[in-house]
Amino acid sequence: MYIRRIPGPQSVTLPDGRTMTRADLPPPETRRWVASRKAAVVHAVDAGLISAEEAVSIWDLSDEELASWRAAAGRFGVAALKATALQRYRG
């Protein structure tokens, strides 16, 4: 049995002290993006677990979409990733 090594770190420690691995990320076939799934991708990219290019290709996102998630989460926190908060945070 062979174990395929993936490039990059196996786990990262987030600023709040939690440890995140690739197992904590949403499945590649995700089509319904709730705030917690968006936050997991943003945290993984910001912490260096995966690259932005890898995230775009895995979940079939546009560069602008991922950039807007990262900007909203960085500026206002995870609450800004909720679909109902669009007008409050992104106006």
In this model, does residue 2 exceed pLDDT 80? no
pTM here is 0.85
pLDDT band at 10 (very low <50, low <70, confident <90, very high): confident
Q: Which residue pairs from 78-86 have beta carbons closer than 8 angstroms and sit at least 24 positions apart in sequence?
A: 78/35, 78/36, 78/39, 79/35, 81/35, 81/38, 81/39, 81/42, 82/35, 83/35
> Mind listing the pLDDT tens digit for each residue in 12-46?
998 889 999 999 999 999 999 999 999 999 999 99
